[in-house]
Amino acid sequence: MSRSKHAGGFRNALKEVFSYKSALIGIAILLLLVCLSIYTIITIPLPEAIHAWRSSEIWSKNPRNAQPEWIEIFYGKKLPRTIIVSSKGINASETPLEDGKRAFSLILFFNYDYEDFPPEIIVFFNSSYSEKLTIDVYWIRPDGEEIRLKRHTLRRPDDKLYLSNDLGLELQLERLVESKIGKANFTVTVERGLFMEYSKTLRVLKGRYGIRFESVLNAGDTLEAEVVVYGLVYGLAGTDHLRRPLIIGLLWGTPIAMSFGLAASILTTVLSLIIGTISGWYGGVIDSVIQRATEINAVLPFLPILILLTTFYRIDIFVILLSIILLNIFSLGIKSTRILVMQIKSYPYIEAAQAYGASNLRLILLYVIPKIMPPVVPAMISSVPGFVFLEAALSFLGLGDPFLPTWGKIINDAYTHGALYKGFYYWILEPAFLLILCSVSFALIGIALERTVNPKLKEL
Amino acid sequence: MSSDVRLLELEDLRKWFEIRRGFLSSKTNYVKAVDGVSFSLDEGKAVSLVGESGSGKTTLGKTIIRLYEPNSGRIIFQGKDVTHIRANELKWYRRMTGLVQQDPFGAFASHFTIFRSLEEPLLIHNTVKSKEERAERIFKALEEVRLTPVEDFAYKYPHMLSGGQLQRVAIARAIILEPKLIVADEPVSMLDASVRIEILTLLRRLQERLRLGVIYITHDLATTRFFSEWALIMYAGHVMEKASTQEVLRNPLHPYTRALLTATPEPNPENRNRFKEVPPGEPPALIDPPKSCRFSPRCPHAFDKCFKEEPPEFEAASGHWVKCWLYGRS
Ligand SMILES: Nc1ncnc2c1ncn2[C@@H]1O[C@H](COP(=O)(O)OP(=O)(O)O)[C@@H](O)[C@H]1O
Ligand code: SF4
Ligand SMILES: [Mg+2]
């Protein structure tokens, strides 16, 4: 013991850890995740992130369940991004009529170069009117053909026109297509009808499209329009069922998962270390009480209790953390700590310290804990993934923090909205990938630490 | 005799260890490791505690510096009763006493440097406030024990030092708070023979220079002559003989002491009084020992009285006390 290799070996131990390739990989991943966390915390402040994650309005111009942009690699074709064309800054032509009325005409053009059809088209109006505002909407194809789509009467000043969900329009377009190419051997949806090349094979007609709005405005009426042609892909991570960019949840999930995992593992480890130390150091009644507590704790069903707790109390991440810690500190690890402490207590250097007046507290904190800490650190690091997964699992079960965007919550959303069934694999795979990345990094470091602390494992 | 200031007085000191027989048994037995020890020590003087293993020397040493609390009897230190003091008074007593243990390799926390180990007592007692003064004190203590150049040793970890060097550090640690009394429990028995004399000389010189009272525990009678003014021969928790070291060596009276010393003269006078580690027979079990002379089972001179009654301490010659019926005036 006296020639223990921990003596002043902290730097050496670090050096040794760095000599393992697996540890280096683990550290690299960890650094990456840490940088990601710092970047997230700085660029998207938490209140903003929570607000964004919980509001659906601000994402209305995002596509729903869009895959990440890089998914194109697997499709081998250019998938549509979201196109937004606004009437802002474009002069609508207005011709005065009698009674102060004006004939309104506006054309919004946009280029469509993608090799697939958009999933959805919505026109957002922004108007002010005194009586009633009726708008005729026309579609202009790249070849110059113009199709009258609809006559729409605004129900409120910021009304939306959902072209996609319009059965009448779908029927109209199907007939149009039939008149051009005969009976099509595919269903003609609104988007297909609008963007297809008139040929037997379903193909996008690339080029400049236009959408024209015609109306008669009363004196003082105004009308603005914004056309959103939704894409099939969005950003780095895609969107979910509420059109939210997953990247926000994934990014914020990183610091949350890491700090949760670390906090849970460090606190449970340190607290049970302290409890075990007290048990072994003082012995007697305190020891008996702690021993019985660990034995009872060992037979308590952990998850059901946690579920019970989280259903009874208003849950947030701190309540979850606290319950996990409380349910874990009286772990069986206390038994081995206790025996180790009883052994250390009998070492001459403890007696020497008592002889020069060291108090119990000092002995425990400065003489005993530093001795039993080194073998515990690897286990502590290795236990981080467990806690990260536990939090994810609780979120997945709907028992997580209701406000924070976490990986578990994203998986939960994906699962409840049939991501796998609908083929939205990215929705589950992205958070799962990060979860695994995070776990692997801690596990690799933990294993390397374990090897440096426990030389017997070195040959493995 | 102005220097004869009483430092320590033990009055009928007893330290019994409780042991429980079995799980449910309400009967407690005692290991009577120290069972009625009295002696006194003047300031700046050394006393040797001699006896074979298990005779209670360590227990007595630890009781004196209050690592154990005595079951009965009194410890008077500088005229103050310290037998059952607590808290701040006990902390003061810790500062006034020091301990050098048998095993130098186990005596230091392996995660502390030598400097840090020596700093601990200073930090605990806060006698030296500034970091610079503490360093000064630590370096001075290392110089006292001849670990020079001090910088070469101060920042090393215990495992980088030899046993002899570590024992020097242990002595430095024991004196760093400027105590009045030091218990040195077999300080050289685990060291190489080559460094034993050095360490003992060092301890003796420090004792004289710093006017330390020293309780030197040993099973090697030969080293006592070299070291101490007084000698106490312990057997089975009792002090059997108590006199000046010279007197004990020249004129051993107790049958046990005599058994310890081989009668055959050696050509080398240095080895004449070699301590025989295992005298014939076994020391008695200290669990509830009988009321008799504790040496009686092994004593060649034992007679009836020895088996019935424990002998008191008789003053056989002036300042020479023997716990044996042979010297009873009756
Ligand atoms: N903490 C203890 N608990 C019970 N018995 C003890 C304890 N310490 C010492 N003893 C017993 O007291 C007796 C004296 O031991 P000790 O003082 O170590 O003798 P020495 O130092 O002379 O070898 C031994 O029989 C030993 O087993
Ligand atoms: S009292 Fe008796 S048994 Fe004891 S030492 Fe003296 S003679 Fe021997
Ligand atoms: Mg001993």
Q: pLDDT per residue over B21-33, tens digit each? A: 666 667 788 899 9
Give percent of chain A above pLDDT 90.
63
Are A335 and A276 in contact, with CB atoms under 8 Å apart?
yes
Q: Is the pLDDT of residue B330 over 70?
A: no
pLDDT value at residue B25? 66
Least confident of A31-35, A91-95, B131-135: A91-95
Distance CA B306, CA A133 (A): 128
Least confident of A382-391, B241-250, B259-268: B259-268
Q: Which residues of A touch B173 (CB under 8 A)?
A: 352, 356
Q: Is the pLDDT of residue B329 over 80?
A: no
pLDDT value at residue A400? 81
Tokens of B187: 């300080």
Residue among B301, B304, B308, B313 to mutate when testing ligand 2 (max atoms within 8 A of CB):
B301
Q: In what order do the strands lie in the sheet with A83-86?
A: A83-86, A222-229, A121-128, A160-162
In chain A, residues under CATH classification 1.10.3720.10 are 2-56+244-459
Which residue in B106, B83, B8, B81 sits closest to B49, CA to CA?
Answer: B8
* A80-229: CATH, from 3.30.750, 2.60.40, 2.60.120, 1.10.10: 2.60.120
The predicted model gives B118-129 an average pLDDT of 93
Give percent of chain A above pLDDT 70.
96
Alpha-carbon distances, residue A336 vs A28, A276, B3 (angstroms): 33, 8, 54
Nearest by CB to residue B124, choosing from A1, A6, A357, is A357
Which residue in B35, B65, B85 sits closest to B239, CA to CA?
Answer: B35
Are B245 and B224 in contact, with CB atoms under 8 Å apart?
yes
CATH number of the domain at A2-56+244-459, please? 1.10.3720.10
Distance CA A194, CA A163 (A): 10
Which residue in B185, B175, B159, B156 sits closest to B55, CA to CA?
Answer: B185
Say if B99 is an interface residue toward chain A (CB within 8 Å): yes
The predicted model gives A60-73 an average pLDDT of 93
Tokens of B260: 């310890």
- Report pLDDT digits (tens) over A255-292: 999 999 999 999 999 999 999 999 999 999 999 999 99
Q: Is the pLDDT of residue B273 over 60?
A: no
Give percent of chain B above pLDDT 70.
90
Report which secondary-structure segment, H or E, holds B176: none
pLDDT value at residue A86? 92
Q: Is the pLDDT of residue A113 over 90?
A: yes
Q: Give residue B303 CA to ligand 1 midpoint distance, Å.
A: 29
Tell me B261's DSSP state: B
Strand A93-96 relative to strand A102-112: parallel, antiparallel, unpaired?
antiparallel
Which domains does chain B show, CATH number per domain?
6-264+281-327 (3.40.50.300)
Q: Is the pLDDT of residue A41 over 80?
A: yes
Say if A3 is an interface residue toward chain B (CB within 8 Å): yes
CB within 8 Å of A321: residues ≥ 6 apart: A260, A263, A264, A267
- Report pLDDT digits (tens) over B287-323: 877 788 999 888 888 899 999 999 999 999 989 999 9
C-beta B59 within 6 A of ligand 1: yes
Average pLDDT, chain B: 89
Report which secondary-structure segment, H or E, holds B191: none
Say if B173 is an interface residue toward chain A (CB within 8 Å): yes
Q: Is the pLDDT of residue B279 over 80?
A: no
CB within 8 Å of A35: residues ≥ 6 apart: none
Distance CA B298, CA B258 (A): 12
B99-117 burial by CB neighbour count: b if 16+ within 10 A, else e?
bbbbbbbbbbbbbbbbbbb
Query: Where is pLDDT greater, at B36 or A454?
Result: B36
Say if A367 is an interface residue toward chain B (CB within 8 Å): yes
Q: Which of residues 47-76 of B touch A (CB under 8 A)?
A: 62, 65, 67
Say if A356 is an interface residue toward chain B (CB within 8 Å): yes
pLDDT value at residue A2? 38
Q: What is the 3-state secondary structure (H, E, C) of chain A?
A: CCCCCCCCCHHHHHHHHHCCHHHHHHHHHHHHHHHHHHHHHHHCCHHHHHHHHHCCHHHCCCCCCCECHHHHHHHCCCCCCCEEEECCCCCCEEEECHHHCEEEEEEEEEEECCCCCCCCEEEEEEEECCCCCEEEEEEECCCCCEEEEEEEECCCCCCEEECCCCHHHHHHHHHHHHHHHCCCCCCCCHHHHHHECCCCCCCECCEEEEEEEEEEECCCCEEEEEEEECCCECCCCCECCCCCEHHHHHHHHHHHHHHHHHHHHHHHHHHHHHHHHHHHHHCHHHHHHHHHHHHHHHHCCHHHHHHHHHHHCCCCHHHHHHHHHHHHHCCCHHHHHHHHHHHHHCCHHHHHHHHCCCCHHHHHHHHHHHHHHHHHHHHHHHCHHHHHHHHHHHHHCCCCCCCCCCHHHHHHHHHHCCHHHHCCHHHHHHHHHHHHHHHHHHHHHHHHHHHHHCHHHHHC
Q: Is the pLDDT of residue A353 over 90?
A: yes
Least confident of A10-24, A45-59, B236-250: A10-24
In chain A, residues under CATH classification 2.60.120 are 80-229
Q: Is A152 left (phi over 0), alpha (psi -120 to 50) or beta?
A: beta
Are B4 and B211 in contact, with CB atoms under 8 Å apart?
no
Q: Is the pLDDT of residue B266 over 70?
A: no
Q: What is the CA radius of gyration of chain B?
A: 21
Q: Is the pLDDT of residue A322 over 70?
A: yes
Query: Where is pLDDT greater, at B81 or A313?
Result: B81
The predicted model gives A346-361 an average pLDDT of 95
Distance CA B73, CA B84 (A): 10
pLDDT value at residue B92? 96
pLDDT value at residue A93? 87
Q: Is the pLDDT of residue A5 over 50?
A: no
The predicted model gives A399-404 an average pLDDT of 83
pLDDT value at residue B219? 86
pLDDT value at residue A157? 92
C-beta B49 within 6 A of ligand 1: no
Which residue's CA is minimally distant from atom 25 of ligand 1? B54
Tell me B85's DSSP state: -
Tell me B290's DSSP state: -
Are A138 and A212 in contact, with CB atoms under 8 Å apart?
yes
Which residue's CA is minimally distant from atom 7 of ligand 2? B302
pLDDT value at residue B281? 67
Location of structure tokens 């360490």: B199
Q: Is the pLDDT of residue A3 over 70?
A: no
Q: Give residue A99 CA to ligand 3 midpoint distance, Å.
A: 119
pLDDT value at residue A305? 82
Q: Which residues of B touch A348 (CB under 8 A)?
A: 101-103, 106-107
Q: What is the CA radius of gyration of chain A?
A: 32
Distance CA B73, CA B290 (A): 20
The amino acid present at B150, given as its one-letter code, is: V
pLDDT value at residue A395? 86
Instruction: State the nearest Cα–Cα gap between A5 and chain B, in angstroms.
Output: 9
DSSP string for B91-142 = HHHHHHEEEE-S-TTTSS-TTS-HHHHHHHHHHHHT-S-SHHHHHHHHHHHH
Cβ atoms < 10 Å from Cβ of A428: 16
- Report pLDDT digits (tens) over B34-87: 999 999 999 999 999 999 888 999 999 999 999 999 999 999 999 999 999 999
- Report pLDDT digits (tens) over B171-200: 999 999 999 999 999 999 999 988 999 999
Say if B305 is an interface residue toward chain A (CB within 8 Å): no
Start-to-end C-alpha separation, chain A: 24
Distance CA A326, CA A330 (A): 8
pLDDT value at residue A288? 93
Tokens of A63: 């596509």
The predicted model gives A129-138 an average pLDDT of 91
